[in-house]
Each structure stands twice: as C-alpha cells, then as structure tokens.
Amino acid sequence: MLNAFSLFIKFVLLLHLGSLFAQTFTNPVLPGGYPDPSICKVGDEFYMANSSFEYFPGIPIHKSKDLLNWTLIGHGLHREAQCNGGAVNLLDVQPNGGIYAPTLRYHDGTFYIITTSIYFDEKTKKHIGNNFIITSNNPSGPWSDPVVVQGAPGIDPDLFFDEVGRLWYTGQQKPKDPEFTDQKEIWMQELNLETFQLMGERYHLWRGACDGVWTEGPHIYKNDGRYYLMIAEGGTSFNHAVMVATSDNLTGPYVSNARNPIFSSRQLSYENWVHSTGHGDLINLDDGRWYMFLLGVRGDLNRKSNMGRETFVVPVIWERDMHPRKGKILWPVVAPKTGRVERVNPVIFDGTALTKDLTFQDDFKYTKLNLAWNFVRVPMPNTYSLDENPGHLRLFTHPNTISRRKRAHFMGIKQTESDFVITTKMHFNPLGIESAAGIAIVQKDDNYVSFMIRKEADGMLVEVLHKKKKIEIIKTHKLESYKGEIRFKLVSANDTYTFSYATKGRRYKVLTTTKADLVLFNGFTGAHIGLYATSNGYDNNDFSDYDWINYIPKLRKWKE
C-alpha cells in the first residue's frame, strides 16, 4: 500500500514538473551564429532576419507562430547573381566582411530587407560599403536583386513607414565634427518608394547616450503618439548596450532617456552566462505586450563559445518618467524584473512550448540541398552534387584549402551547442596524392579544425589538423586496412573533443582527444560543422561520397 502511494506521489510530481517545464522556454531562442536579429509580424506569424557576413546563402530568414520555435524558410541572398561583385561581393570577401545587420519590415503586401555589404579591396586598401534593399512578396523567396541606396554612408540601416506611407531611411555615419575617436551619429532621410533613392532633407538625429562609441543599429518605432529611436552602442563585446531616445516628431529633435542604457550586460560579471548583449529589435504583440530580440554571447568556455553571437529574447514594458520636469514620457523598460537575459523564462503565449528539435540529420535523398547548409562565400561550380550518386552527397576535391578569402570545398551547418555528437559515413577512393576528405569545424579562414583521411604515396592516413594562424597536425595515423569506407565521430563533452573513426566492418577507435577550445568565437560569426574535401594544391578529379550526417547537440547545464 505504501509503495502504491509513493508511486502515486511520484506520478503527481512528474506531472507537475512536466507542466512547469511546458510553461517555460530556454534562451537563446535561435541558437548558433545568428546575430543582429530583426523581426516583423504579418498576421499571426513572425519573421526574423539575421546577419550572415561572408557566408552564402546570405541573410537567413526564419518563421515562427509563438516566438520560440523558429523554422528556417529561406535566405534573402540565395542566387549567385545577387552577390557576384556588383552591389554585393561574396566571392572573395574578407573574413568578417559581407552582410552586416539587416532590417526586415513588411508594408502593403511586400517584405523589405535593408542591409550593408562590406568589402575590403586589397589593391586600394579601402573598405567598400554598400547599403542596399531587396524585396519579395514571399519571405521564403525569391528575393529581388539588390538596389544600392546611393549616397548613404555607414552601416546597419533601418526602414520606417510613416502614417501616410512615406518610407524613411535611418542610418549611421561618422559626424563631420567628431568629439572623440569612434564617435558616430544617427541620421535620417526620406526614400523614394519607386527607386529606393534618398530625397529631401537629411536630418541628424542623435550621437548616442553614453559616450556614443560605435553608435549603430538604429530602429525607429512609434508608441503612445511619440517616436522612439533605439540604437546599439559600445561595440559588439562586453560593453555592448541598447540605448533609446524619443521625439514628438519623426525627424527630431530626439531626447535621450536619462536611464540609458536600457539594456546591457556591462554591469554584470564577465562570468555571467551570457554577455555582450545588445543590437535589439522590438516587436509589439496584438495583446499590447512588447518583447525585444537581441544578440548575446554565451560564456561556455573561457567566456566564449563556438556559437558566437546568438539570438535571445527578453520582455519589455513601458513606464512613464517619475520626474515631473521630464514631461511624464513613456519609456521602454527591458527585462523589468531582473534587468538581464534569463536562461529559463515563462513562455510568451499560453499553451505553447519550446518543441523544436535542434538535431540535424541529412541522408541526401532529395535532389535539393537542405536550407541549413552554408558555404564560406559563394560556392564554386562543381563543389558538390546530389545527382552523381543518388542518395549521397558527392563533394569534389579542389586545390584550395580553407584559407583567407579563398573558396574551399567546405559546407557546414551552424553549431548550436558547445556539447554535441557529430557522425558521418563517407566513401573515398582518391587517385591523387594529397587528396583528403572528412569533416571540419570552421570558425574562420584561419581558425578551424579538420578530421580527415588523406592519401599518401604508400597508403591512407587519418589525421586531425588544427589551424589557428598556422597549421598544426595534432595527430596522424596510418590506416592498415582501408577499404574505401570510413565513419567519423566527433564528440564534444566536458570541454573536451574526442575524435574517433571506424573503417569498414570495424568499431569506432579513438584517434585522439583535445581541449574543446580550438575554434572559440573570434570575430562576428559562429562556427559551422560540416563536410570538407581538398586536393591540397593538386588538380585532380577525386571526390568523396557521403551517405549521411547526424548532428546531435547537447544542452549544457549552466551553474548560476
């Protein structure tokens, strides 16, 4: 009887815990290298765009109905013709160049994205920046060719439609009379809706609140009959912050909130579970509630993570000034209960739960590549094929290796957690000496680790190679009985990488272990895990055929 009662109590407790779990979600809501979120609402669906920098396809676009479970539906830059050197160059763009913070908006049946393309010309030693607009009547695409907004300096532009349907450009630039190094100012000008070119007077709105260092990422909103200008400030690191100013008129003058910054992690310990929070965008729900989507960096290891800058969400309320001389202005208060990004939060809509499975599996049975795959720069012709060997992905070798401003034959998905297991099965029978194929984790051109087999004159080697400025071979082993087939397994757990392999008919064998800090975030992008083939400088016709790839992320428990 006592055992039955104990079982009943345990059952009730489990139901209660399950109910509590179903009523909460875990930040980040968009894990992996998805920085600079911009969000809009159409009907009962929400859409989000993020920066993509040197990666292709560019400008990932997600859709959600509950603001928690996001599905990748397309990319703003999905054709080579959109980014082959005109308005946008993603062919030989430098690391951390390419597509900066986009703004995604919807108006009268059309989706608009405005963003910045940055390209460094090695010959002239100058940065070329183009702010451009693309449009579509379907957020999943196709999207138009880019239209460059001529005479628009700076980065991170915003679009705002006023009450009469006029379109306004809000941008950032270096002021003519800077008061200190790295000071920027926010400016505004009307755009022609037909040509997307600037017209009329230019208005200089604001130089920021707290020293104004790297004032950028502006967004304009209207609430309570007033206009609000929200910006990022302090640079995208530990001092990153969100500031806000307001005005009776769209074109100013704008008055800074005396309580700026309205959100930051600069007041918290460097050891906080997430830091560098900022660059937010606001969304107003039908029931009157507000939320902010913003970027942050998880401090999983050495105050960093492989994932880099990810997308988080925090609640926002509006409160009036307490000081009578401040005019009782309504101001946004971000994360009003704690003032920081919380790991576990109440769900935004009742009856919903964070149900999206971040496990990625691809058996290459379709004739079109899964949207989750990314390339460092626009891939070259004959990089891969889904037709040559149906049910497999064929990755051809190329003389290029992963190196600065080069297009190598690497394709990856975004790493979404520090702890994970990735496995793949590959067939590889190269003829050329030095041909190699396998898997890799790529952070940057000069920051990656590869796990591959490579052909030498007297046989095949399996090796782990790490590049951080210079190439280091961590471990190499000659395969005595290689029969053209191999499985790779890389496990990240307890801040350690374990590299294992299995040849045909054999069990997995550990090749080596390393610390898991080989490719920590260093720049603007997060790591990508995927498939890599190279002929290491030689011209040949070798290729690798992948049967499948499985990526299983493991949610890390954070110690508060």
520 shares a domain with 396: yes
500 shares a domain with 364: yes
Using the Cα atoms of residue 141, residue 147, residue 152 and residue 155 in order, give the sign of their dihedral. positive
| Cβ–Cβ < 8 Å for 293, 37 | yes
Whether 411 is covered by a domain: the verdict is yes
Would you name the residues annotated as active-site residues?
A: 36, 216
Tokens of 544: 């690798």
515 shares a domain with 472: yes
Give the domain CATH number at 543.
Answer: 2.60.120.200
292 vs 290: CA distance, rounded Å: 7
342 shares a domain with 364: no
Report the pLDDT value the prediction gives residue 283, as an integer from 0 to 100: 98
Three-state DSSP at 49 gives strand
210 vs 234: CA distance, rounded Å: 8
371 shares a domain with 308: no
412 vs 376: CA distance, rounded Å: 9
Whether 73 is covered by a domain: the verdict is yes
Residue of 312, 274, 309 lying closest to 291 (CA atoms): 312
Give the domain CATH number at 120.
Answer: 2.115.10.20
Residue owning tokens 């046989």 = 459
Q: Which domain holds residue 438?
A: 360-554
C-alpha 149 chain-centroid distance: 25
Whether 1 is covered by a domain: the verdict is no
Q: What parts of the chain have a pLDDT lower than 50? A: 1-2, 5-21
50 vs 68: CA distance, rounded Å: 16
**Using one digit for the tens of pLDDT, what is the confidence trace for 95-135?**
999 999 999 999 999 999 999 999 999 999 999 999 999 99
Report the pLDDT value the prediction gives residue 228, as an integer from 0 to 100: 98
Report the pLDDT value the prediction gives residue 8, as an integer from 0 to 100: 47
448 shares a domain with 299: no
Report the pLDDT value the prediction gives residue 91, as an integer from 0 to 100: 97
Report the pLDDT value the prediction gives residue 481, as an integer from 0 to 100: 86
Alpha carbon distances (Å) from 325 to 252, 261, 329: 20, 20, 10
DSSP secondary structure string for all residues of 415-472: ---SEEEEEEEEEE---STT-EEEEEEEEETTEEEEEEEEEETTEEEEEEEEEESEEE
399 shares a domain with 309: no
Tokens of 371: 């949207």
CB-facing half-sphere around the CA of 338: CA atoms within 13 A:
10
Q: Is 89 exposed, middle or buried (0-12, 13-18, 19+ CB in 10 A)?
A: buried
